[in-house]
Copies of this chain bind each other. A is one copy, B any other.
């Protein structure tokens, strides 16, 4: 165990197996072309010396590091945790390591991407930024390795992308609310007005309420900040007024939905009898509210894994036209909107 002080190199192995270094190299890279007997001798020497190719020297020749980068706007919370988890698992399955980074502000993102593109060490990179502005796009275009965009699309560039079908998910939820739960009035509680996900969900909500219901009142649209506490405080004074037969709250994420349910409980509004509450994302909280949350599962782990797939596919076929994948969210019916379908309760 760890006997020799300095790492064995090809020439050490070659000496011990009484062959040349090229033969050793061949045993490692194209074993089939070398004579059975010599091969075994070399392999023995490799094992005896506990030899492993030096990654740097290898990278210098092959220009590959077997490492993929993952850039996210933040690492805080369950959302990114799932994404990283999916990406990490798939990356390892394919023999790659994953290096993660985060950049919260736009300036940070620029600095980070700039830094990454110079360090040639990454074989490819998956990027999710809060804002895909011109400067960021220019930075992404400078990468000489495959770039996959998460949750956004860059037209006109050689970038693959993977997005979540927000509209599909929101549509499924709204249909459930209107058709299965008989909802006639919806109170929409979104994140910031500028948030693209919130925008998409609101648009769908408005469209479906116009098309299959009495429409969505502008006075029933609120923009908060995705936080539990904010939603709880905000709802405390209003939830009484929201209550009513066929009334529902569509919160743009689970945490706000949980806050609203808590406010309802506090003020004695019964969910779902007097008010339905729906969330979005299906994070861990969704199972921890009473009643449990009806929500939309966003396949974050899949998104991470798919991103790694796309990086690798492009590594294999650099000139194939860009692929844009869309992942389908899934309606998860629990108890907070009535209409329980036991089979779907998670």
Partner-B contacts on A (CB < 8 A): 1-2, 7, 52, 54-57, 59-60, 63, 65, 67, 75-78, 80-82, 84-85, 88-89, 92, 97-102, 118-121, 138, 141-142, 144, 228-229, 255, 258-259, 262, 265-266, 284-285, 287-288, 290
Choose among B78, B99, B141 the residue that contacts A2 (Cβ–Cβ < 8 A): B141
Chain B contacts for A284, CB-based, 8 A = 77-78, 228
Docked pose: A89 CA to B108 CA in angstroms:
12
Contact of A288 among B7, B55, B97, B288 (CB under 8 A): B288
Report the nearest B residue to A229, measured CB to CB.
B287
Q: Which residue of B lies closest to A79 (CB)?
A: B81
Contacting residues, chain B, for A262 (C-beta < 8 A): 288, 290
Indicate which residue in B7, B59, B81, B92 contacts A101 across the interface (CB closer than 8 Å): B92
Interchain CA distance A22-B153 in the complex, whole Å: 44
Q: Given the complex of chains A and B, what is the CA–CA distance between A262 and B293 in angstroms?
A: 14
Using Cβ atoms and an 8 Å threshold, which residues of chain B touch A288? 228, 255, 258-259, 262, 285, 288
Taking CB atoms, residues of chain B closer than 8 Å to A120 are 7, 52, 54-56
Tell me the bound Cα distance from A65 to B60 in angstroms.
13
Q: Which residues of B contact A100 (CB under 8 A)?
A: 84, 88, 98-100
Per the bound structure, the CA–CA distance linking A234 and B60 in Å amounts to 58
Query: CA–CA, A305 to B82, complex, Å?
Result: 21
Question: Is there contact, CB below 8 Å, between B102 and A55?
Answer: no
Are the CB atoms of B98 and A101 closer together than 8 Å?
Answer: yes
A80 to B75, CA, bound (A): 10
Judging by beta carbons under 8 Å apart, are A99 and B102 in contact? no
Instruction: Tell whether A99 pairs with B98 under 8 Å between CB atoms, given A60-B56, A144-B7.
Output: yes
**Contact between A285 and B285 (Cβ–Cβ < 8 Å)?**
yes
Q: Quick one: which of B52, B81, B258 contacts A75, CB cutoff 8 A?
A: B81
Q: Which of A78, A88, A121, A141 lies at the interface centre, i.e. has the most chain B CB atoms within 10 A of its CB?
A: A121
14 A-B pairs besides A65-B121, A81-B81, A84-B100 with CB distance below 8 A are: A7-B120, A52-B118, A55-B121, A56-B65, A59-B59, A67-B121, A75-B88, A88-B102, A92-B101, A98-B99, A228-B284, A228-B287, A228-B288, A265-B265
6 A/B residue pairs, CB under 8 Å, sorted by A:
A56-B57, A56-B59, A56-B60, A67-B121, A75-B81, A77-B284
